[in-house]
Amino acid sequence: MLLVATCVLAQTPAGSTIASPQPSPITSPAPITSPSVAKPGPPRPAPNVNLNVPAPQRPRVRRVAMIEIPGQPGFKGVALVKGSLVMAHPAAETVDVFNLLKRRLVAQVKDMKGASGIAVDEAGGRLFVANSHADEIAVISTKDWKVERTIALQASPDALLYVPQLHTLYASNWRDQSISEIDTRQGSAVNTVPVEGRPEYLVFDPASQQIFATLEDAREVIVLDPALKVRKRFPLLASEPTGLALDSKTRRLYVAVRYAVLALDADSGQELRRVAAPAGIDMLWLDEAGNSLYGASADGAISAMRTTSSGGLAADSEFKTDVHGHTFAFDPANKLIYFPGGSQGRSKLLILRQIEHDAGATAGLATK
């Protein structure tokens, strides 16, 4: 018996166990069938794709150059004067003159105390600069960039507006919540009026002979006559109005507010349209010939908007730069944008070129 058991164990494969002395049942293999051919069925629905979604807009500007400017970053008013870009540079206590053709600084007016707003008298060959820390206006010759004289004020000037028809310079006194009227022929302030708010930018309407001013903390635009009597107030459904641009032909007043740009009826103040904009949008510049409106934000974004002959306004594109600033100048003849600011702790001047879109890409904007 022992010999038989040993022989059985020797014939059992390794790893197997004997659970039952009965053999496992033998199953027949599954029959082999020919693969069936699928019959054509009804057509499947096409994917739900909206073919009318417009392609993303290309930025309307491209970078041309980045130029270093002496001094710490911090710029305010700018102006284009006889082939030069003039920049108020309060961080350096200078007014910098940048030659557009040579693309370099050609002059610096020093000892400017808080230079901020700039206004140009082209016929008189003069430049007005608001020295906000000295409560004065510096009058600079555009021939040799020398200070001819200063005009003392009883307030701290910020933004400036020169109206050649009236030989009058207007200054918004942000800290003093007032606006001053300065006779440039006499070289003295003749009137200063409180406006119940902090005035920012000013713009003159030649059609109505009136001045528009934004009151940042009062959330409104005021309309004044040349003698600075307030004629109208336009309350806004928005906060922190700053930049202004006027299209006198279409009677549209564009106002930069927090996160948006508004299009108002310049006569009634009614809001007609608004478009989204980056936070901190400040200065506006209208290119009437190019049907464009540009805005600059403190974080270095340039917003491009489309305007129309009927007064329409539509957001077009946004260009992010690596320069922090909120003021700029647009050269319509050469389609160039000059954007001074700061980058990595240094003063920079960024030069951008306007790019026109194809007519088909902007056709939809023109009707809005």
Residues 156 and 63 in one domain: no
Residues 161 and 213 in one domain: yes
> What does the pLDDT look like over 117-161, one tens digit per residue?
999 999 999 999 999 999 999 999 999 999 999 999 999 999 999
> What does the pLDDT look like over 324-338, one tens digit per residue?
998 999 999 899 999
When divided into structural domains, the chain yields a total of: 2
Tokens 């020797």 belong to residue: 10
**Rounded distance between C-alpha atoms, residue 232 and residue 267, angstroms:** 9
Work out the number of other CB atoms within 10 angstroms of the CB of residue 234.
23
pTM exceeding 0.85: no
Query: Six-digit token pair at 278?
Result: 């980056």
Beta-carbon contacts of 47 under 8 Å, excluding residues fewer than 6 positions away, are none
Residues 116 and 193 in one domain: yes
Residues 230 and 245 in one domain: no
- The answer to whether position 275 is within a domain reads yes
Amino acid at 36: S
Residue 68: strand pairing partners: 348
Length of the chain (residues): 368
Work out the number of other CB atoms within 10 angstroms of the CB of residue 177.
17
Burial of 361 (0-12, 13-18, 19+ CB in 10 A): middle
**Contact between 223 and 232 (Cβ < 8 Å):** yes
Specify the higher pLDDT residue, 11 or 292. Answer: 292
- The answer to whether position 189 is within a domain reads yes
**Contact between 267 and 251 (Cβ < 8 Å):** yes
- The answer to whether position 211 is within a domain reads yes
- Using the CB atoms, write b or e for 284-301: b if 16+ within 10 Å: bbbbeebbbbbbbbeebb
- The answer to whether position 33 is within a domain reads no
Last residue of a domain, one of 214, 235, 256: 235
pLDDT of residue 49: 34
pLDDT of residue 289: 87
Strand pairing category for 210-215 and 199-205: antiparallel
pLDDT of residue 58: 56
Query: Six-digit token pair at 136?
Result: 């004065």
Residue 262: strand pairing partners: 255, 274
Q: Number of C-alpha atoms within 13 angstroms, CB side, residue 144? A: 3
- The answer to whether position 15 is within a domain reads no
Q: How confident is the model at residue 359 (pLDDT cuts 50, 70, 90)?
A: very low
CATH number (domain holding residue 323): 2.130.10.10
Q: 9 φ, ψ to 5°?
A: -65, -35
What mean pLDDT comes out for the span 164-180? 96
Q: How confident is the model at residue 357 (pLDDT cuts 50, 70, 90)?
A: low
**Contact between 213 and 221 (Cβ < 8 Å):** yes
- The answer to whether position 154 is within a domain reads yes
**Rounded distance between C-alpha atoms, residue 237 and residue 116, angstroms:** 28
Last residue of a domain, one of 175, 201, 235: 235
Burial of 192 (0-12, 13-18, 19+ CB in 10 A): middle
Residues 173 and 224 in one domain: yes
**Rounded distance between C-alpha atoms, residue 344 and residue 283, angstroms:** 23
pLDDT of residue 243: 97
The winner for highest mean pLDDT among 262-271, 281-290, 309-318 is 262-271
pLDDT of residue 3: 40
Residues 92 and 229 in one domain: yes
Residue 113: strand pairing partners: none
**Contact between 311 and 272 (Cβ < 8 Å):** yes
Last residue of a domain, one of 235, 252, 282: 235
pLDDT of residue 59: 63
> What does the pLDDT look like over 193-237, one tens digit per residue?
999 999 999 999 999 999 999 999 999 999 999 999 999 999 999
In this predicted structure, the answer to whether residue 280 has a pLDDT above a threshold of 70 is: yes
Residues 144 and 258 in one domain: no
**Contact between 119 and 166 (Cβ < 8 Å):** no
**Rounded distance between C-alpha atoms, residue 103 and residue 87, angstroms:** 14
Work out the number of other CB atoms within 10 angstroms of the CB of residue 157.
31
Residues 204 and 321 in one domain: no
Residues 184 and 246 in one domain: no
Residues 96 and 156 in one domain: yes
Which structural domain range is residue 156 located in? 78-235
In this predicted structure, the answer to whether residue 88 has a pLDDT above a threshold of 70 is: yes
pLDDT of residue 290: 87
- The answer to whether position 25 is within a domain reads no
Torsion angle, alpha carbons of 338, 342, 344, 347, to 10:
80
Residue 222: strand pairing partners: 213, 233
In this predicted structure, the answer to whether residue 50 has a pLDDT above a threshold of 80 is: no
Residues 352 and 263 in one domain: yes
> What does the pLDDT look like over 2-44, one tens digit per residue?
444 444 444 444 444 434 444 444 444 555 444 444 445 444 3
Residue-averaged pLDDT of the chain: 85
- The answer to whether position 335 is within a domain reads yes
Residues 63 and 109 in one domain: no
Return the minimum-mean-pLDDT range out of 209-223, 258-272, 313-327: 313-327
Return the minimum-mean-pLDDT range out of 33-37, 64-68, 320-324: 33-37
pLDDT of residue 305: 94
**Contact between 165 and 105 (Cβ < 8 Å):** no
